Homo-oligomer: A and B are copies of this chain.
Amino acid sequence: MTLLHDEGLTVEELAVWRMLQRVQARIARHLEADLLDAHGLPLASYEVLRQLAEAPGRRLRMNDLAERVLLTRSGLTRMIDRLQRETLVTREACPSDARGLFAVLTDRGAQRLAEATPTYLRGVRTRFLDALGGDEVGRIKDLLHRLGGPDAGHA
């Protein structure tokens, strides 16, 4: 229980944070590689398509979508540009607010998502869940939920 400096952190606590970083990065990198060379789809793009697929009307406001996929609005603009170039997504005006735009999943986008999803799920299974006991999923979920703040809950 050796304390570090005057912040009252133990080395163990610090190590936990480092581990969290490593684990997340490692898994994300694997998933990215899997998706990329099986479907030419970056992980971030996959997440965007998935969010849209889950949203009512397959559409989400840019701002809203940006928050969900942890991108800035400008970052999302470029991402949607790319996806639109591949005709996986369209932009549609928002009737109730002329400032707003919807990102809308196209049929091709939905199909592409469907193709990639098995790869993604298999990756999550093998890179992540297999290392955990089934009962531990519930516990880690509980812990992460506490860390996720007030949002972060989208079953």
Contacts and interface: CB of A to CB of B under 8 A. Distances in A.
Contacts of A117: 5
B152 A22 contact: yes
Interface in A46-73: 70
Nearest to A28: B21
14 contacts: A9-B121, A9-B125, A13-B129, A13-B137, A15-B141, A15-B154, A16-B137, A16-B141, A18-B152, A19-B147, A20-B20, A22-B152, A25-B70, A132-B147
A23 interface: yes
Contacts of A22: 70, 148, 152
Interface residues of A, number: 52
Interface in A109-155: 117-118, 121-122, 124-125, 128-129, 131-132, 136-141, 143-149, 152-155
A139 B143 contact: yes
A39 interface: no
